[in-house]
Structures are given as structure tokens and as C-alpha cells.
Structure 1
Amino acid sequence: MSSHLIAAVQMRTGADLEANLARARVLVERAAERGAELIALPEVFAWRGPRTDEAAAASPIPGRVSEFLCRLAADLKIVLVGGSFLERAPDAGKSYNTSLLIGPDGAIRGRYRKIHLFDIDVPGEVSVRESETRAHGRDVVTAPTTLGTVGLSVCYDLRFPELYRRLAAAGATILAVPSAFTFYTGAAHWEPLLRARAIENQAYVIAPNQAGKSPHGFPDYGHSMIVDPWGTVLARAGAGEQVILAELDPEHLARVRREMPCQLHAVLAR
């Protein structure tokens, strides 16, 4: 089995949709030029602005953002994890936070709507109520690719291991976690959570993060990562916009699962 290069794109997204899409194309093209076959964008890569503008900024599917992603994947002949973007929801004034998986033919292979919404209040640090403007997703989503089966998730989902256990049970060998993790939570929890999800599920984890400042005023953590099934961090970004790449080795994945068949031993999950 041959290995593959995969890439995570770290961005600073603002409230100018077209500027964000143009920047995303530049960074994805940069990764593709270096040989990446699967490339992942961060959460809310296409637009990030005031909460009061979210409903107006949300895009339907098909629509401007999904069509951009499909064209980009087809142009570069890559598997593209389209980070996430705001998708119009039936609930008045609310949007889904949606991640698309696009194949090299430009077809949508998977659509995941973020299940766990970020409602927290840490005095003096972070206060967010995503549920005021976002709708909950319901479905656990995996999709097959030539590199393996991809399990889709978004940011705050990372704190809920039961989701990833279900993705692994559905055959996922690559766990995508596009994020906009805050600096406050990221400095303490980002790497431990990513490595834990990789180790628990014996899967590759690709986690592109935002690297700017949220509309709520707090800084993003950056430090996008790619982690292997043993929990080794293969690639790690710094604080600014950049692209990181790592090798996905199917033989290493198979060996880890063969030598320590944890999923077969998970008796409480039966």
C-alpha cells in the first residue's frame, strides 16, 4: 500500500467572503503543488463576522461556497475537506455549521452539520453562545475516499469522544477536525484532545485551525496539527497562516490496529 501526502490549511478568516475564498484557493493550491492528495480547510473558512450578520451570510447548498469547493477540488484533482461554512437552516435566523467532503471529480461525497454547539462562559476569557444563531446537526457522517474513509467533525465536537467512536465504528481511518479553537482553550486542551482522539480510535487526525481573531474579540490558537494513529504529532503549525503536510501511511495504520486491536476489545460499546 502506498503512502499519501495530506495537508491542513491554517487561515485568518474575516468578513469579506470573496477575499476569503480567494485566499483559500491560494493556500489549497500551495498544498496541492507540494503533492497533497487530501487537503483540509479550517472551520468557518469562507466567512467570519458579527453574529447579527450570520443569517445573511449563510449560503445554501448548492450555492456560492459549495460550488467554490467543488470547483477547487475538481481543478486540482484532490480530496477536499471544505472546512466548514454557514449553511442556511430552516429555522428562521439560524444556520448550520456545515463541513463538506468533496471528491477529485468535484462531487460532494459527504455533508456534516456540526452537532455540538459551543456555549460557554469563562469570565474574563471567553463567552460564546453558538446556539443563539446556529442549529444543531444530527447525523454522524463518514465518506470513502481513495486515501481511506474520512469521518467528519467540527471544532467543539472534539470534546465528545463518543462521536469519534461512532465514526471509527463506521470505518473511519481519517478523522477531520476543522476548527476555530480559541487561544485560551487551545493552549490547554488542543493537542491533548487531538492526540487522544487519534490514539483511542487508531486513526489519522487532521485538524486545521483558524489563526486570527474571532468576531467575539478573542484570539484563535492556530497550531493546526496532523496526528498519526499512535498519537505522534506528524506536523504542527505555528500562530500564523500556513500550510502543513504529513504522510498518511496505510501500512502504519494497519500495523497499529493489528498489533493492538482496541476496537475489538471495546466490550462496553457492544
Structure 2
Amino acid sequence: MDLDRRLFLAGALALPAVSEAAEIKAVPLYSAVAMQLMARSVEPWPDRAAARAAMLAQIKTVGAQILQAKIFIEQFAGSPMRLAVLPEYLFTSYPGRISIPDFADKAAIAEGGPEYEALGRLAQGMKIWLAGNAYETDRHFPGLYFQTSFIIGPDGNVVLRYRRLNSMYAVTPHDVWDKYLDIYGIEGVFPVANTEIGRLSALASEEILYPEIARAHALRGAEVFVHCSSEIGSPNPTHKHIARRARAFENLAYVISANTAGIWGTDMPLASADGNSALIDWKGNVMAESNSGETFTASGDIDIAGLRRARRKPGMTNYLSRQRLELFAASYAGQVQPANSLLSDGVVKTPDRDHFRRMQDEVIARLEKSGII
């Protein structure tokens, strides 16, 4: 296994063999928080240097906000706060119509870069696991970037790095699939970090709507889904609101979903993506949910021991253990969105934004021709 794959999987190692009773008792009750914070767009900044300075300044501000949330939660709720989840693309907002190479240069961060170092110092100083989401470059794919959900451990190191697999206007690992697999393997596509607070995995934004992605992580042991999102908030159930609860109970897993508290620096009305950050237990119950604005009110206790007991208990509601996956193998073998749309004879192409719309048009035409739609 090469160095890149070993580093990518650093947090996805098997747990040591222990007895069932010992494993269930191994994780004490702790608190987690979905930090609902305002994303700040890089659009107003004139160049790379200004954008990077703004990102580092915001990381410092966010650190202070998490610390205050930790102090409050531990004083009034009692359980130690050990996991904080940040919203999607908190430090850059979405790329909009900025070209892919230009956005990669201006706003995408590098593995081990100063932004990760700053975030690592926050996690280390507060002795927490810190989950977030950012656009990230990869030296194997120059000129491109991937939307990456990450988890940083209390030692300041990244223990999980997950690249978003389903996106409308951005490059995903599936678009360069063969080369991506050669470098990182399937374990790097669906990483699960075995930690002292449970087995953690990540879902990015609208991926909560695709049950296969969550299920692939759950079948690798995931117990807690950290979900970084930027979405509309509403008093009525949205698609993502419904999907969060479904992904929780169908996989017997916690979902910790952090939404943005608006997006600063674009022409879009500020609160268009605001509200409804939530903690959901493995039964699909909403434990806590935020209203609008910057807040840490979506917080609560995580009971991994209870979840593990539920997963080991036979019964109709143990949906994870009742899967009959072979039934669906033939149906899933058919292709909808094609792999390797940006890979030709091993060479990676840099697309324009309209490439992704053209690909979807072609897929819809093919599905229509085949009688599926």
C-alpha cells in the first residue's frame, strides 16, 4: 500500500478485538454539537492572499465560538463535549461560476496546509473531535479540487478525509474513478474512523438524500454520521430534513447535521441557507434542532453503548441486520451517471462548469430512450 493510501486511511483502522460487553461499555456518554454558523464567501476578496487571510481569521473566530459552546454545554448539560460539527464550506461558501482552476487556486486548501494546521490547533486545544467541510486540492489531480468532509482528532491530526461522491457542478472521485481507486482504494472512498467516541463517518450536503452512500458507510461500521450542510431552513419538513431521520433509523446511526446560518459575501439574500441544524438518534428521533441564526442549540448526548446494544438486538426494527443485499446487485450493476467522465486514457481533463449539466442531459436522454423514465 502506498503512502497516500496509508495517510488517507490513517483513521480507518480496525478496532482491537474485545469482548462484546467490553466494547459496548467502551464509550462513555458524551455531548456533541452541530455548530450553526455563517459561511463567508471568498467572492469579495480580490486575490488568493486576501482570501487565505480571511479564511484563517474566520477559523480563529470559529474556535472562540466552539469554546464558548463547550463551556456552556458542559456547565449546564453535564456531559463532556467531545464532538463539534461545522457547516458545509464554512470558510469559502460555494464556488458559483468561478472556473474550477481559478477556484482551486483561490480557495481550495491543501492537505497539511495552514488552514488544516489552524483547525488542528483548535481541536487539540479543546481536546475534541472537530468535523468540517472544505474544498481541497490533491497533488494527483492538479487544477481540480474535491469537496472534502474531514474529522480532526484531539491530537490535532486528520483522522478521516471523505470526498463528496455526488455533486451537481463539481468534480467528484467518480468523475476520475479509475485513477482515484488506483491511488486510494475503495477504503478511501468510504472511510470510517474508529475512535474512542465511536465509529465516525461523513456525509456531505445533499448526499443525505442518497441512501446508498450512508448505507455503504454503515456496512463498514459507521455509528455516527457527521453531516456538513448548507441548505434552506423551513418550518415545514424539507427533503433533507426527512432524509436525515431516514438515514438515522434505517442504519441505526446518529446523524449530527450542521447547517449554515446564512452566507455572507454573495448577492443571495443572507438567510437563504439558514436553520434546522439537528441531532438525530439511531431511532430517527430529533433530539435537538436549531432555529435560525448563529447558534449551538443543536446539541445533546451521544450514547454509543445504547446504539451498540440496539444493533446487537434481534427484532423487526434492527434494519441494518435485516439487509438482503444480493437481491439488489443486478439492479445496481446498471449504469446511470457514468464513471470517468473526466478521465481519458489515464489523462485527467479539467472541465468547465457546464460539463456537469451536459452529462446530466445525456443521462436523462439515455434513461428516456431505455424506457426507465
Provide TM-score, normalisation by structure 1: 0.86
Question: Match of 1:6, SS?
Answer: strand
User: Which residue pairs with 1:212 in the alignment?
Assistant: 262
Within 2, Cα distance between the matches of 1:141 and 1:31? 28
Equivalent residue, structure 1, for 2:360: none
SS in structure 2 at match of 1:198: helix
| Structure 2 residue aligned with 1:122 | none
Alignment of 1:59 onto 2:109: yes
Shift of 1:137: 3.0
Partner SS for 2:299:
strand
Structure 2 residue 76 is the aligned partner of structure 1 residue 26: no
Specify the code of the residue in structure 1 equivalent to 2:136: E
Aligned position for 1:101: 151
Aligned to 2:118: 68
One-letter amino acid matched to 1:239:
S
Distance 1:147 1:269, change over 3 A: farther
Aligned pairs for 1:190-269 within 5 A: 190-213=240-263, 215=266, 217=268, 219-243=272-296, 244-257=298-311, 258=313, 259=315, 260-268=317-325
- Tell me the SS of whatever aligns to 2:31: strand
Q: How does 1:75-114 map to 2 (within 5 A)?
A: 75-81=125-131, 83-89=132-138, 91=141, 93-114=143-164
Which segments of 5 or more consecutive residues in structure 1 lack a partner in the other structure?
120-129
Corresponding residue SS for 2:260: coil
The answer to whether residue 86 in structure 2 is matched with residue 41 in structure 1 is yes
Of the candidates 35, 41, 44, which is equivalent to residue 9 of structure 1?
A: 35
Distance 2:62 2:216 in 1: 30
Mark the CA change 1:106 to 1:163 in structure 2 (over 3 Å): closer, same or farther: same
Q: How far does residue 179 in structure 1 lie from its aligned partner after superposition?
A: 0.6
Match of 1:177 among 218, 227, 237: 227
1:69 counterpart letter in structure 2: L
How far, CA to CA, are the matches of 1:21 and 1:229 in structure 2? 31
Contact 2:59–2:119 (Cα < 8 Å) also in 1: no
Q: Which runs of 4+ in 1 moved over 6 A?
A: none
Following superposition, the deviation at residue 111 of structure 1 comes to 0.7
Stretch deviating more after TM superposition (169-178 or 216-225) = 216-225
2:83 counterpart letter in structure 1: L
In structure 2, the residue matched to 1:156 is 206
SS in 2 for 1:222: coil
Which residue of 2 is the match for residue 124 of structure 1? none
Q: Deviations over 1:185-241 (max 9, x none)?
A: x95212211000001100010000112137472610321000000111011011101
The equivalent residue for 2:173 is 137
| Alpha-carbon separation, structure 2, partners of 1:266 and 1:207 | 25
Other structure's SS at 1:20 match: helix
- Tell me which moved more, 25-34 or 157-166: 25-34
Q: Secondary structure at the match of 2:279?
A: strand
Higher mean displacement: 70-79 or 257-266 = 257-266
Q: Separation in 2 of the partners of 1:254 and 1:178?
A: 24
Distance 1:137 1:71, change over 3 A: farther
Q: Distance in 1 between matches of 2:154 and 2:95?
A: 34
Offset of residue 91 of structure 1 = 4.7
Contact 1:27 1:242 in 2 (8 A): no
Name the structure 1 match of 2:331.
none
Query: Is the 2:206–2:240 Cα contact (8 Å) retained in structure 1?
Result: no
1-structure distance, mates of 2:141, 2:277: 32
Aligned-partner SS, 1:94? coil
Q: How far apart are residue 182 of structure 1 and its match?
A: 3.1
CA distance in 2, matches of 1:38, 1:92: 33
CA contact (8 A) 1:181 1:220 kept: yes
In the TM superposition, what is the alpha-carbon distance from 1:48 to its structure 2 partner? 2.0
Verify the 8 A CA contact 1:204 1:228 in the aligned structure 2: yes
Residue 49 of structure 1 deviates from its aligned partner by 6.0
- How many equivalent pairs are there? 254
Contact 2:209–2:240 (Cα < 8 Å) also in 1: no
What CA RMSD, in Å, does the superposition of the two structures yield over aligned residues?
2.1
Structure 2: 5+ residue runs without aligned partners? 1-24, 43-53, 75-80, 175-188, 328-373
- Give the secondary structure class of the aligned counterpart of 1:105: coil
Rg larger in structure: 2
Q: Distance in 2 between matches of 1:13 and 1:183?
A: 15
Distance in 2 separating the partners of 1:216 and 1:229 = 38
| Alpha-carbon distance, 1:269 to partner | 5.1
